[in-house]
Amino acid sequence: MEKFNPKLHLPILVFGLAAPFVVPGLTIQVAVLWVMVLFALTWDVMGGQMGYNSLGNIFFFGAGMYICAIVQIAFITDVGAYTASNGGVRITFTHQEYFMGLICGIIAAAIGSALIAAALGWTVFGLRGPYFAIGTLGIALAAGELMGTWEWVGGGGGISMPVYPGSADGKAYLFYFLCFAAAVGTYLFCSWLYSTRFGLAINAIRDDEQKAEAMGVHTLRYKTIAWAVSAFFLGISGALFGNITGFIEPLEVAFPTVTFGIFMVAMSLLGGKGTLWGPVLGAFLFHFLKEFTWTYFLGWQWVALGVLIIVNVVFFQQGIMGWLMEKFPEKFGIVVEKKEAAE
Amino acid sequence: MWDNIAILTAAPVFNIQLLLDGLFIGATFALAAYGLALVWGVMNVKNLAQGDFVMMGGYIAWWLGTQGIHPLWGLPASIVIMFAFGWAVYVLMIRRVIDKDMFTSLLATFGLAIVLAQALNLMFGPEVQTAESDFPIRSYFDNAVTIADIKLVAFGLCGLLALAVVLFMKNSRMGQAIRATAQDARAARVMGIDTDRVYAFTYALNAAICGAAGALISMIWVIQPFYGISHSIRSFVIVTAAGFGNLPGVIMAGLGLGVMEQYGGFVLGAEYQQATVVALLLGVLVWRQIEMRRHRQVVQ
């Protein structure tokens, strides 16, 4: 596990803790930044460290969002009746009801998503290479379409989330710090995970799955656990994001396959996949670029993002961290033998 | 749902309507999927921008229609324009991803798909469009089955195009070079085939085929900038089910997909039509996996 490094970790911690008070107008944008960091880190567990490039990890984001919403609503009233009224019934939650619902919702979202991942692992991990990417993309797309036809959870019309029982500022601060904590938690967990035997096993799967299996690594078990880890944290992020937006709907908010679902891949690649800091760096850069293009190139922002993905993938595949490692290997503790380098 | 099945059994003539609609639309799916099978088999590029090429072809025909030119002229126009466009895309990006790992081409073409869908959206707006071909609509079986003449024309054109591509691949020098490169690129290079040119031609040919399919779809169905992704998924379903280099399989799977989609939309309700496509993709992948598992057991 990475040791605490004041030069590296302290500025980020200070930024994370101080941001909502220094720039109160941007609290939600910075909260989304932490969600993005979480996205990139969880994608990299699979895509970078294990070599299984999923295009459908966003599925667990949506699953967590729906599970949390259902638990929160079920805490006080009948879900079917609540969604049928389409936000017409405004139930005022007391503080206790709301927070109990929220806490249980987040826990249920995390565990529920992980369980779904474990169940899906059986089918999905027989697929290799491009089939895996397309299969997972199919799962995310199908989930969005099917949720849109399930009336009990609001169908295509979506669900209005329970209203926060305090002030708007209080809500922003609460969810900001929850997002920050989730991102930091994910980072710490990944950092610990990669330092264990588990990290070595999934790296072995990335390098050569057949050989890993021949050496006695239970590849299916490791792959399923890695996916469940991704799903666990994505479920939490979905639960938080649903409450931040206050309204969830299957295609645009819960299962945004071509937006967030692709952003998480793009961020990991931009920062450098297969490294711990790459996804974090990529998320920061990407989020900044995204907000910049949204503000100054409105209308063309998607074209700009698509071009960024193409340029990134085609010309700069190793990402920023990969490029730095190539350029300054000694800074990363990689010893290059003179003889080898000369060849 | 059961009511709809009851309708189908009570009035069998509805089946004919669904079947024919499915076959007409399935023929265009098969055409686009054949293009994918071509680039996948020859270049090992999984082109996720396939559906967006289809939409581009559709918009070319539709735009000509709005300019007072009959959209059937859009068919040759989109073939030519998309061929040039495909060549340009190859030179600019595909050339650089061709020898990278498989995920690279998938993601790069996904980026291309986003760019194309958004560019179409900015140029033509997000409305659902149909190119008006002004052909009469005829009724058969005592007015129980209605078929627009344009669907028959499009079906015939699909067949002609497929035949042309097959003959081209069989007989022309370029077709032979493409097949040789697909079999063994290195050997082909040793024999003096300029594989880079072959790849460029293959990709451009794929774009032209997609453009033709799109022009036909714009006349017999609907186009919209963001429908590209479902057309890409359809192509992947067909190619995964049929395997590449298997033209009869691609045609059968394409027609079958068209029919199944129509039935799925009718029996389950129109909102399930998209879901049917994706569910079929997952079904095909699971089925393939079961087959692979059996294969592995046999090998063991």
In A, which residues are within 8 Å of B52 by CB distance? none
Structural domains counted in chain A: 1
How far apart CA B278 and CA B291 sit, in angstroms, is 20
CB burial of B4-27 (b: ≥16 within 10 Å; e: otherwise) equals: eeeeeeeeeebeebbbbbbbbbbb
Q: Which of A9, A30, A35 is nearest to A267 (CA)?
A: A35
Q: Which of A129, A138, A262 sits opposite B278 (nearest CB)?
A: A138
Q: Which of A154-158, B82-86, B232-236 has the highest mean pLDDT?
A: B82-86
Residues pairing with B146 in the sheet: B139
Q: Do A314 and B96 touch (CB under 8 A)?
A: yes
Q: Do A303 and B107 touch (CB under 8 A)?
A: no
Q: Return the H-helix or E-strand segment holding B138.
A: strand B137-140
Residues pairing with B139 in the sheet: B146
What's the confidence (pLDDT) of residue B58? 92
Longest dimension (CA), chain B: 65
Q: How far is CA A85 from CA A66, A105, A151, A165, A278, in A?
A: 17, 21, 11, 20, 45
Q: Does A252 touch chain B (CB under 8 A)?
A: no
Token pair of B202 as six digits? 């293959």
Q: Do B229 and A258 touch (CB under 8 A)?
A: yes
* Range of the structural domain that residue B161 is part of: 2-299
Q: Does A302 touch chain B (CB under 8 A)?
A: yes
From A263, which residue of chain B is nearest by alpha-carbon distance?
B111
How far apart CA A176 and CA A182 sit, in angstroms, is 10
Closest approach of A202 to chain B, Cα-based (Å): 18
CB burial of B120-155 (b: ≥16 within 10 Å; e: otherwise) equals: bbeebeeeebbbebeeeeeeeeeeebebbebbebbb
Query: Is position A1 within any domain?
Result: no
How far apart CA B35 and CA B204 sit, in angstroms, is 10
From B280, which residue of chain A is nearest by alpha-carbon distance?
A138
Residues pairing with A248 in the sheet: A159
Question: Do the Cβ atoms of B223 and B69 come closer than 8 Å?
Answer: no
From A124, which residue of chain B is nearest by alpha-carbon distance?
B286
Closest approach of A138 to chain B, Cα-based (Å): 6
Structural domains counted in chain B: 1
Instruction: Pick the residue of A134, A136, A269 with the most B CBs within 10 A to test the interface with B by mutation.
Output: A134
Which residues, 6+ apart, have CB-to-CB distance to B233 below 8 Å? A138, A141, B51, B277, B278, B281
For residue B274, give the amino acid letter.
Q
Express each pLDDT in B251-288 by its tens digit: 888 998 888 888 888 887 777 777 788 888 888 887 87
What's the confidence (pLDDT) of residue B78? 92
CA B165 to chain centre: 14
Query: pLDDT 10s digit of each residue in chain A, 343 long?
Result: 667 777 778 888 888 888 888 887 788 888 999 999 999 999 999 888 888 888 889 999 999 999 999 998 887 777 777 777 765 666 677 778 888 889 999 999 999 999 999 998 877 887 777 778 888 888 888 888 888 888 788 777 788 888 888 788 888 888 999 999 999 999 999 999 999 999 999 999 988 888 988 888 888 899 999 999 999 999 999 999 999 988 888 888 888 887 888 888 888 888 888 888 889 999 999 888 888 877 777 777 788 888 888 888 888 878 888 888 888 877 777 666 665 555 4
Q: Which of A129, A135, A148 sits opposite B282 (nearest CB)?
A: A135
CB burial of A285-323 (b: ≥16 within 10 Å; e: otherwise) equals: ebbebbeebeeeeeeebbbbbbebbbebbbeebbbbbbe
Longest dimension (CA), chain A: 74
Q: Do B278 and A134 touch (CB under 8 A)?
A: no
Q: Return the H-helix or E-strand segment holding B280.
A: helix B273-299
How far apart CA A55 and CA A43 sit, in angstroms, is 9
From A55, which residue of chain B is nearest by alpha-carbon distance?
B107
Tokens 């490692």 sit on residue = A325
How far apart CA A294 and CA A299 sit, in angstroms, is 8
| Average predicted confidence (pLDDT) for chain B | 85
Tokens 């709005």 sit on residue = B66
Express each pLDDT in B165-187 by its tens digit: 989 988 999 999 999 998 888 99
Residues pairing with B147 in the sheet: B138
Whats the size of chain B, residue-wise?
A: 300
**Cβ-based burial of B174 (10 A; exposed 0-12, middle 13-18, buried ≥19):** middle
B52 vs A293, residue with greater confidence: B52
Closest approach of A143 to chain B, Cα-based (Å): 9
Q: Do B233 and A141 touch (CB under 8 A)?
A: yes
How far apart CA A103 and CA A325 sit, in angstroms, is 41
Which residues, 6+ apart, have CB-to-CB distance to B176 below 8 Å? none
Q: What is the ipTM of this complex?
A: 0.77
Residue A29 CB: number of other CB atoms within 10 A?
13
Question: Do the Cβ atoms of A19 and A27 come closer than 8 Å?
Answer: yes
Query: Is position A188 within any domain?
Result: yes
Q: Which of B106, B122, B282 sits opposite A139 (nearest CB)?
A: B282
Q: Do A127 and B285 touch (CB under 8 A)?
A: yes
Residues pairing with B252 in the sheet: none
Residues 137-176 of A with CB under 8 A from B: 138-139, 141-142, 145-146, 148-149, 156
Residue A196 CB: number of other CB atoms within 10 A?
10
Q: Which of B102, B146, B110 is nearest to A258 (CA)?
A: B110
Closest approach of A59 to chain B, Cα-based (Å): 14
From B234, which residue of chain A is nearest by alpha-carbon distance?
A138
How far apart CA B101 and CA B44 sit, in angstroms, is 10
Q: What is the DSSP code string of B145-182? A: EEEEHHHHHHHHHHHHHHHHHHHHHHHSHHHHHHHHHH
What's the confidence (pLDDT) of residue B299? 58
Residues 120-139 of A with CB under 8 A from B: 123, 126-127, 129-131, 133-135, 138-139
Which residues, 6+ apart, have CB-to-CB distance to B255 below 8 Å? B22, B23, B26, B27, B30
Q: Do B282 and A138 touch (CB under 8 A)?
A: yes
Task: Tell me the CATH number at B135.
Answer: 1.10.3470
Q: Do B108 and A313 touch (CB under 8 A)?
A: yes
How far apart CA B285 and CA A130 sit, in angstroms, is 11
CA atoms within 13 A on the CB side of B53: 35
Q: Does A271 touch chain B (CB under 8 A)?
A: no
Residues pairing with A247 in the sheet: A160
What's the confidence (pLDDT) of residue B145? 76
Token pair of A9 as six digits? 């970790």
Q: Do A130 and B46 touch (CB under 8 A)?
A: yes
In A, which residues are within 8 Å of B272 by CB distance? 145, 149
Closest approach of A250 to chain B, Cα-based (Å): 13
Q: Which of B254, B236, B240 is nearest to B110 (CA)?
A: B236
Tokens 């930091």 sit on residue = A184
Q: Do A305 and B114 touch (CB under 8 A)?
A: yes
3-state secondary structure of B223: strand
Tokens 């627009």 sit on residue = B148
Q: Do A149 and B272 touch (CB under 8 A)?
A: yes
Q: What values do phi and psi take at B146, rounded to 5?
A: -115, 135
Helices B102-124/A129-147 angle, 10° precision: 40
Q: Which of B115, B233, B282 sits opposite A303 (nearest CB)?
A: B115
What's the confidence (pLDDT) of residue A338? 60
What's the confidence (pLDDT) of residue A198? 92
Closest approach of B72 to chain A, Cα-based (Å): 30
How far apart CA B182 and CA B172 sit, in angstroms, is 15
Q: Which of B108, B281, B292 sits opposite A138 (nearest CB)?
A: B281
Q: What is the DSSP code string of B29-75? A: HHHHHHHHHHHHHHH----TTHHHHHHHHHHHHHHHHHTTS-GGGHH
Q: Do B112 and A317 touch (CB under 8 A)?
A: no
* Range of the structural domain that residue A296 is part of: 6-342
